[in-house]
Structure formats: structure tokens, C-alpha cells
């Protein structure tokens, strides 16, 4: 792990790659949407796709390799997940 001093030094030498400004703007827009979304909105299929499909917003996610998981392929209809149905 980097110390604060090391991180500051590395950041000063950072040269943004092509597309950085758009990525950053999209990322901040995504965070704003997420912060302001209601619980019922977050439970919709569209919101779940937005949250899990990496290609849509390219936001950091702890699932490993980008595009390695598809919300569409993994989605189960909400009504099929009754209490106790997962084992």
C-alpha cells in the first residue's frame, strides 16, 4: 500500500489517457444517479443492468476482468426468488 506521500508523488506525475475527461464525467454522473436513486428504482431490471453491466459506464467493480459477467445472462426474474428458494 502506498503512503500518502507516495500517492501524492505518483499523482503529480499522472498523465490522463485519451478519453479520461469523458470517463470521469460519466463516472461522476453514474455516482450522482446512484446516490439519488430510490430503492424501488434500484430494484428495476434497467437499474440492475446499469449497475452490473460494466460496458455501460466503465465504473470500477470488484468482479475481476471487465465484461466477464453479463447481467442479462445471470438475471433471474424477481418473482422466481421466493424466500428459501436459494437453498
Delimit the domains of the chain by residue range. Answer: 20-71
Parts of the chain with a pLDDT under 70: 54-87
For residue 52, the model assigns a pLDDT of 79
For residue 5, the model assigns a pLDDT of 96
Separation of alpha carbons 75 and 6, rounded Å: 42
CA-closest candidate to residue 78, choices 38, 30, 50, 40: 40
For residue 85, the model assigns a pLDDT of 43
For residue 82, the model assigns a pLDDT of 46
For residue 38, the model assigns a pLDDT of 94
Amino acid at each position: 500500500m502506498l503512503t500518502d506521500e507516495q500517492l501524492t508523488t505518483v499523482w503529480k506525475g499522472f498523465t490522463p489517457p485519451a478519453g479520461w475527461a469523458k470517463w470521469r464525467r460519466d463516472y461522476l454522473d453514474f455516482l450522482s444517479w446512484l446516490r439519488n436513486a430510490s430503492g424501488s428504482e434500484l430494484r428495476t431490471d434497467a437499474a440492475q443492468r446499469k449497475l452490473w453491466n460494466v460496458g455501460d459506464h466503465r465504473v470500477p467493480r470488484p468482479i475481476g476482468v471487465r465484461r466477464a459477467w453479463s447481467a442479462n445472462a445471470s438475471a433471474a426474474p424477481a418473482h422466481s426468488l421466493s424466500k428459501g428458494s436459494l437453498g
